Structure 1
Amino acid sequence: MKAIEFMNMKKSHEVQAMSELICSIADHYGLKQVIDVGSGKGYLSSFLSLKYGLKVYGIDSSNINTHGAKERNRKLKKHWKLYHIQSRGDASELPFKMAEEIKLKKKIKCKADFEEVCNDSPANQEKMSASGVLPNTSGSAVSNIRKQMENLRVQPLEEENLCLENAFSLIDFLPVNAVEPASSSQVRNREMSEASTGRRSMTSESSESSIYSPVTSFIKADSELHDIIKDLEDCLMVGLHTCGDLAANTLRIFTSKSEVKGVCSVGCCYHLLSEEFEGQHKECTQENWGFPMCHYLKKESWCCGRNARMAACLALERVTLGQGLPTESLFYRAVLQNIIKDYYGIAKCDRHVGKIYSKCSSFLDYVKMSLKKLGLDESKLPEEIIMEYFKKYKPRMNELEAFNMLKVVLAPCIETLILLDRLCYLKEQEDVAWAALVKLFDPVKSPRCYAVVALKRQH
């Protein structure tokens, strides 16, 4: 069953990569329960439940998302059962068939390369020589993180690393020196048990343990999981693109609740983070802030500010490939702000224009629609005045583009600061055995590609 059949390309890429890592960590601890925080439409939760047989609770603050996730999961189950019936006969032979296909492809490739060399073309011989010398850098990211988990000395497990080859690239998967090397006595080969292999099998029968239960609840740092999940047991907490403070609160729940043995969190929407030392919050009595989290940055009273956090959400890799910034829409928005300030005397406003650029045929149309959405009298502003503003600022459009390109270049610096703050917070906790930033997704497909992964000590 391909996830792409039920999700767009971006979501499919994220769900397949993250679910495989989550299942590997769950197998490492022998866990069957997963809590998906900010589960949204339930794509990750459904996939973890249906493909890997895990008992998943998807918690989201939106009642609409919860009901939608239930209905979507019902449809997924229906298709999954149909697939299961069709594939039951030959499913047990699938890994071996795939292995044979890989061997056959390699054999065909070798034969083709040999025929090229037989042509006695210098270019062909040079090409063949190079391909023989270069090492094969492909492999499984999940296998790599398993090696890191081997340093924690848990019960030996049996592993069958079937069909994981070439699933990910090892390049940029873990940062250099992310984990301190363990002594040779601590490192041992370990594999998943036959029981966990059976549990992960796509062809295993549905059981009561492999369910997905969407729950509506607002999660805070001090939320009591027992009040939300009645049958709470040792579990893994995950979050795919948890917005703003939810990413920070997910890590706080992980460190404070003994039942949560591991965490895998991919944050997003840095502009929604609350900052303890931001000027406007000086009189606020809030206890848990989105940034900073670690002792060092708290001691230094570190502050980014909303503009910097907005910049952290930009996608450098996409811009590098020419997908670019929406310069014209940003230009429209900038000129609109000047018009509102000059003609309506409004410098700041709580209302938002939103994403209306794609719905407008011209700048004139954009201004009229924006004024209507903001509740401002558009009759006060003649069309001639609107176009005069457009002509006045049009020559400066290249300045705006240069400014935004500068923001794009600085974006990774700000995002890295926020992510390292979270990593340092985890490394400050005594009960955390291992923590790292994992480049889990392709940054072009999914710009917020880093997962914060941490495991607790086993007593």
Structure 2
Amino acid sequence: MADGGGRKYSCKTASETLEWIHAIIDFLKPYRFFLDDRMWEAVDIEWMNCLRKESVEKLLQIPSGVVQDHWPASLKEFIITSRSLSLPRDQADLQEAFPGLRVASLNNVLAQGMSQKKKHEIETVAAVINSIARRVGAKTMVDVGSGQGYLAQVLSFEHELSVIAIDASSHHGSITEARAKRIEKYYASKARESRSENRGFSTPKTVTCKVLSPAMLKDVSSAFLQLDDLGKPIFSRVEAEGKPLEGIVGSKSPLPCIAIGKSPLVLAGLHACGDLSVTMLRTFMECDEVKAVISIGCCYNLISEEAMHETHSGFPVSTGVKSSSVLLGRNARDLACQSAERWRGLDEAAGIHNFDLHAFRAAFQMVLLKYYPEIIIRNPAIGRQGKALRRKHNRRILESDSNRAESFSQKNHKPVICCTKSFNRDENDPLLNEPSSYTRSSNEGSNSGDRYSKFLKFCLWGLERLGLHDSQKNFLGLWKEAETFADLVGPYWTLRAALGPVLETALLLDRLLFLQEQGFLKASSRTYRVKRRKIRVRAEFDGKVNGALSADFDSRYTDRQKALDAAMNDINNSFGKGSVTRLGSAGGALVETFPSGCLTLDFALGGGLPRGRIVEVYGPESSGKTTLALHAMAEVQRLGGNAMLVDAEHAFDPAYSKALGVDVENLIVCQPDNGEMALEIADRLCRSGAVDLICIDSVSALTPRAEIEGEIGMQQMGLQARLMSQALRKMSGNASKAGCTLIFLNQIRHKIGVYYGNPEVTSGGIALKFFASVRLEIRPTGKIKSVKGDEDIGVKVRVRVQKSKVSRPYKQAEFEIMFGEGISKLGCVLDCADMTGVIVKKGSWYSYGDHRLGQGRDRALQYLKENPLVSEEIEKKVRAAVVEDNGQVSSSFMKSSIPQPQDEDTMFQEMQ
């Protein structure tokens, strides 16, 4: 029942529910401008002139339906009608629905890792699920969207139900299993202490898949229904075409399983996002084994909203709403996630802060539109400043006020749905996740200079999040232009938020009507009391018709595949052949690599440096960065490829390079005048497709033209960072298409004033960090002395793989660099052979097959130096072992690998 000063609505029957939905639709039609941009042009001027003079406290009460006597009649009618059309938020009592319900507090083992809010939810929902399962005679519960398995483990260990935990993330499945094992040990120990060792524990069974249809949900659930005495599922596997099941944790088969026999099930979802709640309802309707559904939905913005002929969209689902041709749109579904109680629960300072923050974001958008129009067209996101800190602060307040839980429940209540019951989330609302830094009162006014300083800080933070570091723009002028309208932000946002409960009601009533149309529900709508939160039970299931869910092939699969093929063909015709392709048919699933010139580094990289990617090598001075790059160029030339050196430091030494194996006669060298010239030349040669490796030495020496032409001492903030950011956006794609590897050598700088943490940063901004597929940190670890010990003849170096998109990161490689000779290749071969087991080391003796290499590392190296054939054989076996373990593909840079011109007939056939 809904009321709020206006007409009362009911949802006891399908006709009453549909009438309620039609009333919402009719109400929303004249106010659609609240869901579109430029809404300020359509809001009644009389409303705004009235509300802009009101206090923050009164504005925050608008979403809850509170009006003032002196407000315009049309404004009061809008707010009161919004309240009357929304589901009521009255306090509830669960004991009325579930006599004898016992909500037990969780022990510290089960509650480990839970926040206070999560702990309260799990305690209450688990008790309700257990009560419903006992009433319908079900011993198996399916936790849909289980996340980290908190609910599944409480139901399994505390309520002794058999639980199947389904989640789309395999990582969550692994966490659930590991956590369940720890909890099982605790309960086993507790059982031994109480001398009840015969008690059997049933840990949750984890399944990893994306639930896209009721058929899939039934098949996955049914696979685990029957267990033998050893706890293993008894089932037969059948081939189910067209069902995109990713697989079951612990099983290599990607096919769903159909159980032998039937058992009653209960479906439950705590915060089942988007369409998942609707899929659970459809499964309940179609599957006889499912006796009850407890769905606590959330994330309405993720609901799919398709055309009326679509049968698997999340809204609308009922025939009555579909016949009305209603489509809400993304903005409306976003707004449905807003909580009126959360607005009402803000104090004056927090309300002022949030209104100011919205004003800052609007003004920041003006900054982007004026100074960075190329950024604004990409719909950038800068996130929520201080979100994590605010959540920790709220959690501490919640824990300290736990003894006042009853009063707290007056502020935090929001409805949910089931075929029986529903909760709603309150974690992702943007308001309480922002830092509250403003303490000024609305009666005191605001210091314009103080607000500007905070806006400036907000802009600099936002620009940094977008990779922009230019602080020389005229922010003051834009802020003065926007500040005159800042007092309108509060009225606009609170009026818009008043529609949130109405839109949420429309979504939930559509789901209720969907079940009522099938004759599944009694005419029942009750409210029950819950400590600190509330549950609204909108309907109870009465019985089920014969609606068994078929496990046959999905009839929509063929149509979907045809539509996909047609779309891909259209894209390839419009943008060129190969614009979109299936990875398996393209033959590009593996990443090609080539040797870096250091075998231990190749071992750490999983095969070598990747082709067509960006690699950053950084470290302190005299650490071996250039030497490592020269060895990589020598390897590329040895394999028949072309290499280029962009010597921005103007420090290239041909004699040293030749000693390292570089073919200096055929090496392409560029010594640019400025950074723009260097990067432009590198990009042009990269696009040619004829160069396989380009090394830029170094990023720090890529001096922008404006800095060279300017005076010494002139501040040039962000020039080099912007230069690198613009260049890398172009070069990354060109390098991938041409198969050209770009190696950027970079230096280390130290931040001034950093007393805690690592002050080291690399020059050139942060763009290179993101575009680089591999980042290598190289540092010297010691010096190598001569035999006599009177002079240094080399350095020991350690390379750490700080980032890798093509192999496992954070591995380390150690090798020696001899002055005048470069990297000690034999030392690398010996170390890698020892790690891979190609060479056997017993004590201090090294052996390879029948060959006894010598006692001690020095004598083994001497043997390899004197026997190059043995050394080459060992190196081949080591590389083969590395490639086999990592699945990499080695490259050979032959002329035939470069695309050759085609004849006209072949080109014409491809165009067709």
Gaps of 5+ in 2: 1-103, 226-262, 390-434, 438-453, 546-912
Q: Is the 8 A contact 1:331 1:400 kept in 2?
A: yes
Q: Which amino acid in the other structure matches residue 294 of structure 1?
A: S
Please name the residue that 1:64 is paired with.
Answer: 171
Is structure 2 residue 461 aligned with structure 1 residue 354? no
In the alignment, what sits opposite 1:311? 335
The 1:54–1:456 alpha-carbon spacing in structure 2 relative to 1, beyond 3 Å, is farther
Q: Distance in 2 between matches of 1:272 and 1:259?
A: 28
Count how many residue pairs are aligned between Structure 1 and Structure 2.
332
8 Å CA contact 2:211, 2:217 repeated in 1 = no
Give the CA RMSD over aligned residues: 3.3
- Say if 1:422 and 1:240 are closer, same or farther in 2 by CA, change over 3 A: same
User: What letter is aligned with 1:304?
Assistant: L
State the partner residue of 1:418: 507
What does residue 211 of structure 1 align with?
203
Q: Residue 123 of structure 2 corresponds to which residue in structure 1?
A: 16
TM-score (norm 1): 0.63
Taking the aligned partners of 1:385 and 1:74, their CA distance within structure 2 comes to 59
Using the TM superposition, give the Cα deviation of residue 300 of structure 1 relative to its aligned residue in structure 2, in angstroms. Answer: 0.6
1:337 counterpart (359, 362, 365) = 365
TM-score for both structures, normalised by structure 2: 0.33
Q: 1:226 to 1:265 in 2, by over 3 A?
A: closer
Cα distance in structure 2, aligned partners of 1:337 and 1:297: 37
Q: Give the SS at the match of 2:165.
A: strand
Contact 1:265 1:452 in 2 (8 A): no
1:33 to partner: Cα distance:
0.6
2:303 corresponds to which of 263, 273, 276: 273
1:3 maps to 106
What are the within-5 Å matches in structure 2 for residues 110-149 of structure 1? none
Q: Give 2:326's aligned residue.
A: 302
Structure 1 position 395, deviation (Å): 4.2
The aligned counterpart of 2:492 is: 403
Q: Secondary structure at the match of 1:261?
A: strand
Partner of residue 459 from structure 2, selected from 364, 367, 370: 367
**Cα distance 1:386–1:440, how it changes in 2: closer, same or farther (>3 A)?**
farther
Residues 2 and 351 of structure 1: CA distance in aligned 2, closer, same or farther (over 3 Å): same
**Structure with more relative contact order (C-alpha pairs < 8 Å, separation 6 or more):** 1
- The structure-2 alpha-carbon separation of the partners of 1:238 and 1:301, relative to structure 1 and needing over 3 Å to count, comes to same
SS at match of 1:455: coil
CA contact (8 A) 1:36 1:237 kept: yes
Report the alpha carbon displacement of residue 424 of structure 1 after superposing the two structures with TM. 0.7
**CA gap 1:369/1:298 in 2 versus in 1, 3 angstroms:** same
Determine helix, strand or coil for the equivalent of 2:288: coil
Question: How much has 1:441 moved relative to structure 2?
Answer: 8.1
The CA distance in 2 between the partners of 1:30 and 1:451, in whole Å, is 20
Q: Deviations over 1:391-430 (max 9, x none)?
A: 4323433321222222333222111111111111111124
Q: CA deviation at 1:8?
A: 1.6
Q: Distance in 2 between matches of 1:451 and 1:336?
A: 44
Q: Compared with structure 1, are the counterparts of its residues 52 and 443 closer, same or farther at alpha carbon in structure 2 (3 Å cutoff)?
A: closer
Asked if 1:76 corresponds to 2:168, the answer is no
Q: CA deviation at 1:14?
A: 1.3
Letter paired with 2:330: R
Larger radius of gyration: 2
| Cα separation, partners in 2 of 1:437 and 1:307, compared to 1, 3 Å | farther
Query: 1:423 touches 1:435 (CA, 8 Å); kept in 2?
Result: no
Corresponding residue for residue 170 of structure 1: none
Q: Percent identity?
A: 30
Q: Which residue of 2 aligns with 1:259?
A: 289
Q: d(CA) in 1 for partners of 2:288 and 2:268?
A: 15
Match of 2:147 in 1: 40
Contact 1:39 1:58 in 2 (8 A): yes
Structure 2 CA distance for partners of 1:330 and 1:85, relative to 1, 3 Å: farther
SS of the equivalent of 2:328 reads coil
Whole-angstrom distance in 2 between the partners of 1:443 and 1:416: 23
Contact 2:188-2:197 at 8 Å conserved across structures: no
**SS of 1:399's equivalent?**
helix
Distance 1:216 1:206, change over 3 A: farther
Alpha-carbon separation, structure 1, partners of 2:524 and 2:191 = 37
- Once residues 389 and 206 of structure 1 are traced to their aligned partners in structure 2, the CA distance between those partners, rounded to angstroms, is 71
**Once the two structures are superposed, what CA deviation does each residue of 1:51-72 show, in whole Å capped at 9, x if it has no partner?**
1111111111112222222222
Q: For residues 393 and 301 of structure 1, what CA distance do their matches in structure 2 show?
A: 40
Distance in structure 2 (CA, Å) of the matches to 1:301 and 1:374? 40
Moved more, 407-416 or 355-364: 355-364
Provide closer, same or farther for how the CA distance between residues 439 and 43 of structure 1 changes in structure 2, counting only shifts above 3 A. Answer: farther
CA distance in 2, matches of 1:342, 1:252: 49
Alignment partners' CA distance in 1, 2:197 and 2:480: 66
In 1, the alpha carbon distance for the partners of 2:208 and 2:183 equals: 20
Any conservation in 2 of the 1:440–1:450 contact (CA below 8 Å)?
A: yes
Q: Structure 1: which 5+ runs fail to align?
A: 90-202
Contact 2:184 2:203 in 1 (8 A): no
Per the alignment, residue 457 of structure 1 pairs with 543
C-alpha displacement at 1:272, in angstroms? 1.4
Q: Distance in 2 between matches of 1:399 and 1:406?
A: 11
SS in 2 for 1:11: helix
2:153 aligned partner, one-letter code: S
Give the secondary-structure state (helix, strand or coil) at the position aligned to 2:513.
Answer: helix
The 1:221–1:26 alpha-carbon spacing in structure 2 relative to 1, beyond 3 Å, is same
Residue pair 2:515, 2:521 contacting (<8 A) in 1 also: no
Structure 2 counterpart of 1:327: 355
Instruction: State the distance in 2 between where 1:426 and 1:34 align.
Output: 21
C-alpha separation in 2, matches of 1:440 and 1:56 = 26
- Determine the structure 1 residue equivalent to 2:314: 290
Could you list the per-position Cα deviations for residues 190-222 of structure 1 after superposition, in whole angstroms to 9, with x for gaps in the alignment?
Answer: xxxxxxxxxxxxx996425x3311211101124
Q: Aligned partners of 2:155, 2:327: CA distance in 1, in Å?
A: 37
Distance 2:155 2:198 in 1: 15
Q: Deviations over 1:154-211 (max 9, x none)?
A: xxxxxxxxxxxxxxxxxxxxxxxxxxxxxxxxxxxxxxxxxxxxxxxxx996425x33
Q: Secondary structure at the match of 1:236?
A: strand
Q: Indicate the structure with greater helix content.
A: 1
Post-superposition offset of 1:4: 7.0
Find the residue that maps to 1:224 and give its secondary structure: helix
Query: What whole-Å deviation, never above 9, does each CA across 1:298-318 have from its counterpart, x for those lacking one?
Result: 101112222222222122123
